[in-house]
Structures are given as C-alpha cells and as structure tokens.
Structure 1
Amino acid sequence: MNVIRPSFGPPPQGFELQELVAKVAVGDHDAFRTLYRAVVGPVFGIVRRVLRDPAQAEEVAQEVMLEVWRTAARYRPDRGAVLPWVLTVAHHRAVDRVRYTEATAARDRRAAARSQVTAFDEVVEEVENRLERERVRHCLRGLTDLQRQSLTLAYYQGKTCREVADLLGSPLSTVKTRMRDGLVRLRDCLGVGG
C-alpha cells in the first residue's frame, strides 16, 4: 500500500484533525484527502498487526478510510481525539475480518467433512439397499403364487386390493387374506419383529 504523505509541512495533528473531520462530515473532498494522508499509515499499521496478510490489510485499511468518510459526522470530539477514534474503527474492522475469515474456514472444513462422510454413507447405503432387495426377493420366492402376485401388484405396482382382485380374477376377500398371509410370511422370513 502506498502511504501518501503531504510534501508540505508536518502532518496535521490534534485540533487540526478535528477540523478536517468536521469538513469531511460535510463532504469536503480536499479535507478528506488531507485526513487520509495523515491517518492511513497508522491505520494500515494496526490492521497489518492484526491480520498479518498485507493484501487483506490493504483492503481493510481502505474499508476503514471509507467508513471514516461515511461516518465523519458521527465523530464526537468530547469522546476523544481523531486518531484514536480512527484507530479504534481500524482495530474493530481488522478483528471483524479475522472472525469472518475464521468462520469461513470453519464452515468450509465442516462442508468438506460432510461431503466426505456423505460419499462414504452413500456407498454403505447402496450396499445395504442391494442386500435388502436380495433378501426380499429370496423371501418372495417362498410365497405361494397368489400371495406373491398379490403383493407384487399391490406394493410394487401400486394397485388397490380391488384392482389386484380384478387382475387375478379372484374374490376380493381371498386376495386380502392371501396378502395378509403373505405379509406375515415375509415378516417371518425377513426376521422383522411384529
């Protein structure tokens, strides 16, 4: 970051800085330019000490100076001198950036951890589903033809009991009984409590 210093005389201090802030508060660009030159060095220094990354420090220092431009009207001389006020703003901004950076990194780590776990869980889940389907097929083969057909039509094709009875040409009560008996046998075969 290029710290620009005026080529004439010493930088403004104390009461002169207060006058500059008062002018900045009403939109005086020249006063802001002078104020900027007077405080940007210390601002960059404090931000650099907190952030340690020169590129981020430059960015935050610019944000601080922009905030000084926007909030100059809120400066209260009775609460302290200009430079400590500006440096307090700088310190707060730098700490906020550290917190933001840490929160972003933590969020990225959590997302990465979740994506790794999810990938593993998807494989495990797929294997378990495949094994479960094989067990169900095995148990379905142990049913009578009417039980297997009734359950297949109802549970795999979404047919109602009435539709199953019509498709199989069997009385509704017979289909319901065969489905109930088939479900009991499936439950026993699969080892599901019930």
Structure 2
Amino acid sequence: MVRHFGQWVGEAHDIEFTLNGSDFTKAMRRRADDRALEREEMWGLIQGFFPAEMARQTLVPHAREALLALSRTADIVILTNLQDVCRQPRIDQLAAFGIDHRVECNQGGKGEPVARLVAEHGPSATVFVDDLAVHHDSVAQHAPQVHRLHMIAEPDLARVMPPAPAAHARIDDWPAAQAWIEERFATGAPAGGG
C-alpha cells in the first residue's frame, strides 16, 4: 500500500511522501511549506485512504499463485491492521484479485490474534508473514512456536528496511517465500521460538 498511498497523498493532498523507514510521520511533508505532518494528521490520511482509495492498490507479483498453492495444504488467514469497518472492503478487494481467504482485522500488535488463530486451528506448523518488524516482535512474544517470515513486497521500501530481528527469515518475493513456507509445512514442526 505504500506506493499507492504515497501517490494518493501527493495527488489529493499535495504531500510529499518519501518513506525511508517504518515511521510514516517522518515520511510525509506538505509541499507548500515543507512542514512535517503531526501523527494525528497522518492517521487521518490513512483513514482517508482505507477504504475509499483501496482500489488504487495492485496485486503483489505472484501472490495469488503462491497463496493458491499454499491453500491446498494450509488454512490461510489474512490478518490486517485495518479498522473493522474495512474488513468487507478488504475481502471484496482481494476477491477481485482472485484471492478468497478468511480476513480478520486487528489494531495493534498481531501476536495475540495470531496466538488465538493458532489455538483455533490447532496446526502442526504455522507461518506468519508480515512486512513490519513490530508484528514479528509481537508474534515472537505471544506465539513463539510460529515460523516468522519478514516480507516487504514493495521494492523501494525493501531496499531501505533492515530484516526484522524477530523473524526467522527475510524473503521479499512470493516464489521464494512460497518455497520457504512449504518447507516449514513439510516438516510439520513448530518454530524453535527464537
């Protein structure tokens, strides 16, 4: 969403968006006076993007094919940090791309909801994929048995973001990620917790 969000704030709000890390507030400046946005302004813009501008988002290359292949042996749940009001728009958006999996909304760290999902499904092996290090930290704390894959599919952001320390691996493309995930499922063992 980073590239699409940046295009939108530039077009609709005359804001320059240059993300060189995970802090959106440091990435956004008003073009008229080069003033940085306050955190509240940033959140207002993000809420303006979701769900009204979600149609701008495009499919990550090879994601559909990888998820389809993985769904033959795994239950896939898409855990998104969107507000609950965005759940159905996200479901509709993914369905338009041919992706039909359970979608759950969450606000804050993803560790507790991942732990609940693991308890609900009772899998032998679980893989968590996310682009933010903070969520890998949260999952490591609340569900250490889960394999954690750090993936940043946006190439410009991937170049400047270091690997998440709490992730077990960093892979930024879906074909290689699919192979890594399939290896975890093939062993059927939980992660070591570290």
More strand by share: 2
TM over 0.5: no
Normalised TM-score (structure 2): 0.25
More helix by share: 1
- Higher Rg of the two aligned structures: 1
